[in-house]
Structure 1
Amino acid sequence: MTKNSVKNFVIPFTICVFSALALYPDSSLDPEIYSTEGLELNYNISEELAMANQDQFIEHSIFTPHLGKSFEGFKEALAFKESRGNYFTVNTLGYLGKYQFGSETLKLIGIYTPNQFLYNPELQEKAFVANAERNKWVLRKDIKRFEGQHISGIKVTESGILAAAHLAGPGNVKKFLRSHGGNNLSDAYGSSVRYYMKKFSGYDTSMIKPDKKAKVTL
């Protein structure tokens, strides 16, 4: 008998038994007689489907209220891609926090204590802004030159450039732009400069001011 056949038989049968017990409380019906012991009743959904449903639930619930294309929307969308917005996570390569910073990048913006960084959400938020300010300074000429152009099938925007710089560093974004998409670096998990430039295009990042010496202070 197939699982579907068992399911179609057991569920209606069980309903009938308990309906009879409710209608005739003094009857001699014995629920033990109608045990499902020994029947294969495993209806678990696949792990892939469960994860897909969980991801869909998290994705729909995390962006409330709707932040649109604001700078806050940019930060939260990028954080969701990096860590599902978890301040206290460390990935398999040792990248830290909500925005998945590497220790060398943290040093560039004045943070030398990764453990302190990991457990301090305020520090992480300031680090994101400082790093974006530094990247915007490094890429200022490329933003001016390439913004609005179409490269490798995508429209280049400032927010896309900054997101890609967060992923791969400003140097690799320069290589992508100046090779017109020919040099498209991917990280260890398969995310590429092009993918980030497309996924995070069109956000308002005008509040980020280019700053060569951007540092984090509390």
Structure 2
Amino acid sequence: MHRRRRSALLLTAAIATAAPLLTACGNDAHPGAAAVVGDQRITVSQLENRVDEVREAQRAAVPDDGQYQQVVARSGALTRDTLHGMVLDRVLHSAAAEAHVSVSRKEVQAMRGDLEDQAGGAEQLETVWLQQYGVAPGRLDDNLRVQLEAQKLAESLDTDTSRPEFWQALSKASDKLDIDLNPRYGAWDVQKAGRVDSETPWVREVAEAEPSQQTA
């Protein structure tokens, strides 16, 4: 179980990247899209809804205005990190399918039960995942499925999620999917299988939080 938990934390932590806030024009090639992954679009609306889910859960957990603003400030990169996670989920699923790896609902529930035992209950586990990884309670099972899929993919490659072989598989899947991010959120680095900052000259850094984060 400890190995499972380390794998889960490793992959979840990999989603978070420290980066300056960005603002830019929309992606003219894919209007309304935050990202295009293969033949699937992640719309700006879908991304904003995911971010709103987290903000609403954070607000419910921290009713005090001052404390809530501190929570928002600590998770200022939430929009970009959320998009990173949404894209990485699809990359991982593609790599897992290529390796004939799948995860059952029973496996997800077993993992959740183990983690709830460690955390001290279902509510405590949801709080940990919300506070540490920006996962809304309603998305917890989906996130655990991703963790299990990553673990099983790594095992099929005779490695683990911290090893280069695992990330090479994600890099290969990224390349096949031809991922295109809206420049306002950065770009997708195929070799790293992760989001990076855009270097286009018309993208500028800003000191304040993104509008969707301020009003969430």
Question: When you count strand as a share of all residues, which structure comes out higher?
Answer: 2
Q: Same fold (TM over 0.5)?
A: no
* TM-score, reference length from structure 2: 0.26
Question: When you count helix as a share of all residues, which structure comes out higher?
Answer: 2
Which protein is bigger by CA-based radius of gyration? Answer: 1
* TM-score, reference length from structure 1: 0.26
Task: Between the two structures, name the one with larger relative contact order (CA 8 Å, sep ≥ 6).
Answer: 2
